[in-house]
C-alpha cells in the first residue's frame, strides 16, 4: 500500500463522525467514501468533512448500500460503524474483499455471530481490528504500562467504575432494545471486559452480575414496544489465575466529576486513574507514600472525539498495521471474548446466578 490511505466508512452515525475527524489527524489519510442507508446521516458526514481543514470533498463519494461502495473500488481500508446488529451481514460481504478492517465494538450482538466472524478472520489476510479503543485512553494506557512493568506487584483485584449519561438518541432509537445491541453489558461494557483481560493478562472463568432498568427510557415507547435496555448494574469476574475484577455501571449519573475510575491492586501497591481528570495515583502498601502523575492529551486530539483521545491513538496503530504489515493489536478473538463476557453478565443478571464462561464456549 502507498503512503496515502483512502478510508471508506460504513455506517455514518455519531461514531463515524469521530472516525472521520481522527482520520484527518493522520499523515497521508483521507476519507473517500461514506455509506449509510439514511440520508440525514450522509448529510451529517458531509457537514463534518466540510468543517475539516484539508478535506477534499470532491474526492468523497456517498453510498446507501455498502455493496455498491465495495464495487466502486475507491477505498483502501474500511471502518465499520453501523448499528451493532448489522455487523454480521456487513462483515459477510466485506470479508470477501482484500481490504483492512476496523470494526466498531461490539464485534457482533450474539456469540454465534462473533464466533463466525472469528473463524472467517482466520483465513483473512488483511488487517482485521476491533475498535475497543478504551485501551488507548492515554491515562489508562499509561496506568496499564506501569502495572505491566511491576508497579503493583502481582495483580490481584481490578475495579472499573463508569458513572455517565444515558444512551444517546440514534436513528430509529435502535439502541433502546437488547435484540439490536446485545444488551447494555455487551453494547457499552464490552470495552471494560476487554480492559479486564488486557490489564490482568488472563482469561475469565466465571461471571456474576445484577442489573436492570431503574430510571432511563421507562416512559419511552416505539411501535408499541417499551425499551428493555438496562441502565445500571454490577458485574464480578473471576479469572483463571485467581484475580478478581468488578464493573460498576450507572447510566443516570451524568453529574459525576469523573466518568471513569479504574483501580488495580497488587500484592505490593495500588494504581488508580480517573477520566477525564487524567491523574494516575500510585499507592504503595509500605511505606504509605502516594505519588501522582498527570497525563496530558493534545487539545486537537481531544477535540476530535468524545473518548478522551483514544480513537486517535487507536488509528495510529491501525494505520501502522496497514502500512507495515504488523499484526492487529485488538483481534477478532479479543472482540469475541468481550462479547462473550458481556453476554455472560446479561445471563447472570436475568437468571440470578453465576455463569461459567465454559457454558457459552
Tell me: the pLDDT tens digits for 166-208? 999 999 899 999 999 999 999 999 999 999 999 999 999 999 9
Distance, in Å, from the CA atom of 10 to the CA atom of 143, rounded to the nearest integer, reads 33
Cβ-based burial of 234 (10 A; exposed 0-12, middle 13-18, buried ≥19): middle
Q: Which of 189, 195, 284, 200 is nearest to 244 (CA)?
A: 200
Distance, in Å, from the CA atom of 214 to the CA atom of 236, rounded to the nearest integer, reads 20
Phi and psi at residue 199, to the nearest 5°: -70, -50
Beta bridge partners of 269: 284
Q: Given CATH 3.40.640.10, say whether it is the number of domain 5-133.
A: no
Q: Which of 228, 192, 194 is nearest to 211 (CA)?
A: 228
Cell of 315: 488509528
CB 76 within 8 A of CB 318: no
* Gyration radius of the chain's alpha carbons: 20
Q: Which of 266, 272, 268 is nearest to 244 (CA)?
A: 266
Q: What is the pTM of this model?
A: 0.96
Share of the chain above pLDDT 90, in %: 97
Q: Which of 125, 130, 50 is nearest to 87 (CA)?
A: 130
Beta bridge partners of 33: 8, 61
| Cα dihedral 173→64→129→111 (10° resolution) | 50
Distance, in Å, from the CA atom of 199 to the CA atom of 262, rounded to the nearest integer, reads 11
| pLDDT exceeds 50 at position 1 | no
More confident residue, 348 or 287: 348
Please give the average per-residue pLDDT across 29-38, as a whole number. Answer: 98
Q: Which of 134, 87, 37 is nearest to 330 (CA)?
A: 134
Strand arrangement, sheet containing 5-10: 61-63, 29-35, 5-10, 77-80, 101-104, 128-131
What SS3 class is residue 67? Answer: helix
DSSP 327: P
Q: What angle do CA 326, 332, 336 make, to 5 degrees?
A: 155
Residue 361 confidence class, pLDDT cut points 50, 70, 90? confident
135-297+331-360 — its CATH code? Answer: 3.30.360.10
Question: What is the per-residue pLDDT for 2?
Answer: 52
**Per-residue pLDDT tens over the stretch 101-141:** 999 999 999 999 999 999 999 999 999 999 999 999 999 99
Instruction: Tell me the domain boundaries of the chain.
Output: 5-133, 135-297+331-360
Amino acid at each position: 500500500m502507498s503512503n496515502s490511505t483512502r478510508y471508506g466508512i460504513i455506517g455514518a452515525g455519531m461514531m463515524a463522525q469521530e472516525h472521520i475527524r481522527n482520520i484527518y489527524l493522520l499523515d497521508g489519510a483521507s476519507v473517500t467514501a461514506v455509506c449509510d442507508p439514511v440520508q440525514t446521516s450522509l448529510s451529517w458526514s458531509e457537514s463534518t468533512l466540510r468543517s475539516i481543514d484539508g478535506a477534499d470533498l470532491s474526492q468523497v463519494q456517498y453510498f446507501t448500500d455498502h455493496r455498491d461502495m465495495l464495487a466502486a473500488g475507491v477505498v483502501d481500508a474500511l471502518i465499520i460503524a453501523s448499528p451493532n446488529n448489522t455487523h454480521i451481514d456487513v462483515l459477510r460481504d466485506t470479508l470477501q474483499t482484500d481490504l483492512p478492517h476496523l470494526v466498531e465494538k461490539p464485534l457482533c450482538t450474539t456469540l454465534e455471530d462473533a464466533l463466525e466472524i472469528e473463524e472467517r478472520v482466520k483465513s483473512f489476510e488483511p488487517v482485521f481490528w476491533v475498535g475497543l479503543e478504551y485501551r488507548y485512553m492515554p491515562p489508562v494506557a499509561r496506568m496499564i504500562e506501569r502495572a505491566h512493568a511491576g508497579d503493583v506487584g502481582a495483580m490481584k483485584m481490578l475495579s472499573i467504575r463508569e458513572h455517565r449519561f444515558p444512551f444517546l438518541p440514534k436513528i430509529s432509537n435502535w439502541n433502546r432494545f437488547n435484540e439490536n445491541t446485545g444488551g447494555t453489558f455487551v453494547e457499552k461494557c464490552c470495552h471494560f471486559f476487554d480492559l479486564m483481560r488486557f490489564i490482568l493478562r488472563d482469561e475469565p472463568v466465571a461471571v456474576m452480575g445484577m442489573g436492570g432498568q431503574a430510571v432511563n427510557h421507562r416512559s419511552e415507547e416505539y411501535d408499541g414496544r417499551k425499551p428493555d435496555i438496562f441502565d445500571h448494574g454490577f458485574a464480578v469476574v473471576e479469572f483463571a489465575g485467581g484475580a478478581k475484577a468488578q464493573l460498576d455501571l450507572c447510566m443516570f449519573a451524568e453529574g459525576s466529576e469523573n466518568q471513569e475510575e479504574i483501580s488495580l491492586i497488587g500484592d505490593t501497591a495500588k494504581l488508580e486513574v480517573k477520566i477525564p481528570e487524567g491523574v494516575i495515583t500510585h499507592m504503595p502498601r509500605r511505606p504509605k507514600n502516594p505519588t501522582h502523575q498527570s497525563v496530558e492529551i493534545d487539545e486537537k486530539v481531544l477535540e476530535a472525539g468524545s473518548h478522551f483521545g483514544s480513537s486517535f491513538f487507536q488509528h495510529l496503530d491501525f494505520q501502522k498495521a496497514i502500512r507495515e504489515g504488523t499484526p492487529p493489536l485488538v483481534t477478532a478473538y479479543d472482540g469475541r471474548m468481550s462479547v462473550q463476557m458481556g453476554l455472560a453478565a446479561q445471563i447472570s443478571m436475568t437468571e440470578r446466578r453465576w455463569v461459567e464462561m465454559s457454558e457459552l464456549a
